[in-house]
Amino acid sequence: MTTTDEFDNLTTPLETSTSPALKFSVYSRCSTTKARASKMQLPHYTASTPMFMPVGTMGSIKGITTRQLEALDCHVILGNTYHLGSRPGPELLEKAGGLHKFMAWDRGMLTDSGGFQMVSLLKLANITEEGVEFENPHDGKMMMLTPEMSIGLQNSIGADIMMQLDDVVSSLTTGPRVEEAMWRSVRWLDRSMQAHKRPTEQNLFPIVQGGLDERLRTLSATELVKRNAPGYAIGGLSGGEAKGAFWRMVSLSTDILPTNKPRYCMGVGYAEDLVVCSALGVDMYDCVFPTRTARFGNALVRTGSLALKQGRFKDDMDPIDRDCDCPTCKTYSRAYLHTTVTKDTTGCHLITVHNIAFQMRLMRDIRRAIIEDRFPSFIREFMQTRFGKTVPRWVVEALQSVGVDLTVADEKGGYAATAIDEDFQKTPNV
Amino acid sequence: MTLRFELKSAIAGAGDASGTNGARTGRLVLGRESDQSASAVTTDTTIDTPNYLKYTRHGLQPHMVREVAAELEGMPAATRVQLEDFLADEIPDYVKLGDGMHGFIGLDRSELLVLDTLDPTVPERTSKSSNTFMGVDSEGGTRRLTAEVFARLADQLKPDIVVPLADYVEEPHPSLTQGKRISKSVSRSCKWLEEYLSKRKHPAAVFAPVMGSLSTELRDISAKKLAALDEVAGYVFNDVSLDVAFEKKLQLVGHSLERLDASKPRYMAGASAPDSAVRAILRGIDLVDSSYPYAVTEQGFASTYVFGRSASDEEASTTSAGHVDLWQESMFSDFGPLVEGCECFTCRTHHRAYIHHLLMTKEMLSTVLLQIHNMHWYQRFFAAVRESLGRGQLEQDANRFLEHYCSDARDAAFGELETLGKQESSPTTKIQRKRHAEQHQ
């Protein structure tokens, strides 16, 4: 992996924010878009942003050792509070000295609140002002997760960044329930801040809510900024809403959130989303997609994804990606991977390693392009590689909103795209 | 490329004055000319015997990708690969592999690569062979492997050692008196070996399967044939399907060894478990394979068995099971390493409670970390066996080892490979969890 740090020549930050357990320094701003490249100093590690955080739900990233994760240049990983709270449970994690020690990971870590899993995994979740009431899948008894309990669990886990419990509604919900959830999330933030016992060791991030309603999002973001948190998350998106609404909510949020603090867009991990959201001023991302799709034998490339199980790869002696310097691409051909994916655990590990390396390299490229102030041309190259001549309309419009117009050829006279109505790429651009 | 076997010492086995049937130490030396033919530099790869060939699936050791396997030190530079893992898509044409199997599976050039046909951990086979082909079951259907196709693939894959195609008897209890299965197996195997030798171009060292199953007469015929062939550089005992007591298998192997060239190396498949391995080594076997530690990992166990000089100190602290079960509830809050004092990556980095948690939550890292430890432990066992042999104490040490781990029938150690054949795969499968749930009810 590359050891050169793209921040090496930058000595003075443009702006900073300092909290007891986090120092955020913006070193470089794109002169066209809202993108920025920053350093985020956490109790366990100083991360470079924009960054992608692989998800290690149960306290491990699928089959990958912590030493491999370091070699892959992962700065922060994510753990799920709901899962870790039931197994191994907060008592054991406290005894172990926190999740860092329990899993032997000494870089950055972020935990979610557990609320999303409550609502998405459990059928009988009922939300009241007190908290989320749910049926314990183990014994069938009704239980309650309150904002205080979520923070208590997260204090036991000990991650560098914790998330407030929020009242999650589907991004497809409309009507008064969205406003109720938004205001309740603000009240729950206040309770969470009250309950937080380790403010000098852990950061608590509020979550901007408000569904797809501009007025509610604005209200939410404005309310949260008053709490002077070390960083902010944009939540309640990536739930199947139209991408046109998604990017508008992200952009609206980053316009209100302070420029000297990190912004985290939850549940985002597709390459084009990472590029677009970075242009909209987002700094942090997480998603299960890269590691999950690896288990089905899908390797990520700039043009999309290769389903290595397919017969067309059985004689293909090229690596997944010639330009990738991950251990898998340096050693194995697609033909070899074709023989082992979905059969052996090592087949899965090889693709997982590549997919994490893919995400990390994309983020490094984004950071470098921002620092060298050529992010707009990076975006053009990226979109040309990924989509060719036809680019999803939401991408075109999101980028137009920050001064990059893909439909017009730039001064180099090369690439110009046509907008199409599909939100996602249907087939790889090969 | 040259392969030579240097026999260093042999001690006489029970009832055998010639040394043919006794434990011995040696080294397998692979000399490979480097690409710059002008300078004609040869680099040697040396494997001290007795030792093991690294067991692989699709060319990689179970659960460990290259950079993870690199955490292990002192492993023998010898890997075995079975051709059947690469037959899912019809008989492949590996002509594009300029670099052979080494490059394809990411093996260092210095590593000695043994190409066999079948996975030694699969004792039960359903597909039948004919006079002209071996039937191999694959995900994509039954493949018909002829000696000619085998020779072509072996030429393309360029292994250092090849175990030519043979007609293994698939029946667990072949009849000695009725039917002609064993005799067919011997004659077909002889024929296929000759065909392979006449068709092949790549000069891999040939380790020939010694055939004959339960029949001593037919074993004589097979052994005499192989002993007469100059091209045969070593012998393989591949009777993994045969369902007889291990002692009986060793007798059959011993019978053949008396008719074979004692200066050549011998590999026995199905003798991977430490008790089997040490008994096979006492009877003159030089090489087994590391399928055993894989089977231990699949059970969610960590090996603890100790052999030889250090055993007296350490035995007291380990049970006669030869492993600890990481599924046990007592592991939940056990912050000790898998084995106290163990220097493997897993024991240096993680504790039992974490591995237990990974098993309980079906996380794949559980088997990765267990496999690292179990391979480290297996390597340590072989180093101890060679050390004991060097001191001339192997028989005494082996007796004590077998007494400690294998005398208590209720808690008999080293049965993990038998369980492996019956289970689906890794501890993260439903079957394994069900077994666990039943145990703890």
CB contacts < 8 A, A to B, total 119
CB-count burial class (<10 Å; 0-12, 13-18, 19+) for B74: exposed
Coil, helix or strand for A74? coil
User: Do the Cβ atoms of A65 and B64 come within 8 Å?
Assistant: no
Is A112 within any annotated ligand binding site? Answer: yes
Question: Could you give the ipTM of this predicted complex?
Answer: 0.96
* Partners of residue A64 in chain B, C-beta under 8 Å: 365
B380: pLDDT strictly greater than 90:
yes
The set of catalytic residues of A is: 112, 286
Confidence band (pLDDT; 50, 70, 90) for B425? Answer: low
DSSP 8-state class, residue A189:
H
Averaged pLDDT for residues B176-204: 94
User: Do the Cβ atoms of A346 and B60 come within 8 Å?
Assistant: yes
User: Do the Cβ atoms of B65 and A83 come within 8 Å?
Assistant: no
Is A113 within any annotated ligand binding site? Answer: yes
What are the backbone dihedrals phi and psi of residue B19, each rounded to the nearest 5 degrees, phi first? 90, -5
Q: pLDDT for B244-261, tens place per residue?
A: 999 999 999 999 999 999
For the question of whether the overall pTM of this predicted structure is more than 0.90, the answer is yes
User: Do the Cβ atoms of A88 and B68 come within 8 Å?
Assistant: no
Question: What are the residue ranges of helices labelled H in A57-96?
Answer: 66-71, 81-86, 90-96
* Partners of residue A339 in chain B, C-beta under 8 Å: 58, 85-86, 88-89
Task: Mutation target for B interface from A69, A99, A314, A346: give the one with most B CBs within 10 A.
Answer: A346
**DSSP letters of A207-245?**
EE--TT-HHHHHHHHHHHHTT--S-EEE-S-SSS--HHH
- Nearest CB partner across the interface for B357, out of A61, A64, A87: A87
Averaged pLDDT for residues B8-32: 75
pLDDT of chain A, 430 residues: tens digit per residue:
444 688 988 889 999 999 999 999 999 999 999 999 999 999 999 999 999 999 999 999 999 999 999 999 999 999 999 999 999 999 999 999 999 999 999 999 999 998 888 777 766 688 999 999 888 777 778 889 999 999 999 999 999 999 999 998 888 889 999 999 999 999 999 999 999 999 999 999 999 999 999 999 999 999 999 999 999 999 999 888 999 999 999 999 999 999 999 999 999 999 999 999 999 999 999 999 999 999 999 999 999 999 999 999 998 999 999 999 999 999 999 999 999 999 999 999 999 999 999 999 999 999 999 999 999 999 999 999 999 999 999 999 999 999 999 999 987 778 999 999 988 876 666 5
Which residues of B line the annotated binding site for Zn(2+)?
A: 342, 344, 347, 373
Q: Provide CB contacts within 8 A for A310, sequence distance 6+.
A: A338
Averaged pLDDT for residues B130-152: 92
DSSP 8-state class, residue A61:
B
Q: Kindly compute the dihedral angle of the four CA atoms of residues A39, A40, A43, A46, in this order, to the nearest 10 degrees.
A: -30
Coil, helix or strand for B408? coil
Q: Any chain A CB within 8 A of the CB of B274?
A: no
Q: Any chain A CB within 8 A of the CB of B294?
A: no
DSSP 8-state class, residue B214:
T
Q: Which residue of A has its CA nearest to B91?
A: A314
B18: pLDDT strictly greater than 60:
no
Averaged pLDDT for residues B73-83: 97
CB-count burial class (<10 Å; 0-12, 13-18, 19+) for A224: buried
How far is residue A427's CA from residue B23's CA, in Å, rounded to a whole number? 61
Residue A211 Ramachandran class (φ > 0 left, ψ -120 to 50 alpha, else beta): left
Q: Any chain A CB within 8 A of the CB of B363?
A: yes
Q: Any chain A CB within 8 A of the CB of B437?
A: no
- What the block records as the tokens of A360 is 């990390």
Is A114 within any annotated ligand binding site? Answer: yes
For residue A31, the tally of other CB atoms under 10 A from its CB is 12
How far is residue A304's CA from residue A295's CA, in Å, rounded to a whole number? 16
* Partners of residue B368 in chain A, C-beta under 8 Å: 63, 65, 345, 349
- Nearest CB partner across the interface for A339, out of B71, B86, B365: B86
pLDDT of residue A301: 97
Q: B96 near B85, Cβ under 8 Å? A: no
User: Do the Cβ atoms of B58 and A339 come within 8 Å?
Assistant: yes
Confidence band (pLDDT; 50, 70, 90) for B333? Answer: very high
- What the block records as the tokens of A361 is 């390299």
Q: Which residue of B has its CA nearest to A333?
A: B104
Q: Any chain A CB within 8 A of the CB of B98?
A: no
User: Do the Cβ atoms of A314 and B92 come within 8 Å?
Assistant: yes
User: Do the Cβ atoms of B345 and A67 come within 8 Å?
Assistant: yes
pLDDT, chain B, mean:
90
pLDDT of residue B431: 43
User: Do the Cβ atoms of A64 and B96 come within 8 Å?
Assistant: no
pLDDT of residue B20: 67
Task: Mutation target for B interface from A73, A333, A344, A354: give the one with most B CBs within 10 A.
Answer: A344
Amino acid at A78: L
Q: Kindly compute the dihedral angle of the four CA atoms of residues B281, B266, B70, A293, in this order, to the nearest 10 degrees.
A: -110
* Partners of residue B355 in chain A, C-beta under 8 Å: none
- What the block records as the tokens of B219 is 């074993």
Q: Which residue of A has its CA nearest to B351?
A: A102
- Nearest CB partner across the interface for A349, out of B65, B106, B333: B65
Q: Kindly compute the dihedral angle of the four CA atoms of residues A245, A246, A249, A251, in this order, to the nearest 10 degrees.
A: -110
Q: Among residues 325-354 of chain A, which lie with CB inside 8 Å of chain B?
A: 327-328, 331-333, 335-336, 338-340, 343-350, 353
DSSP 8-state class, residue A346:
H
User: Do the Cβ atoms of B363 and A58 come within 8 Å?
Assistant: yes
State in Å, rounded, how far the first CA of chain A is from the last one.
Answer: 26
Helix (H) or strand (E) holding B194: helix B181-199
User: Do the Cβ atoms of B65 and A336 come within 8 Å?
Assistant: no
**For chain B, give me the number of helices (H) and strands (E)?**
15, 15
pLDDT of residue B15: 44
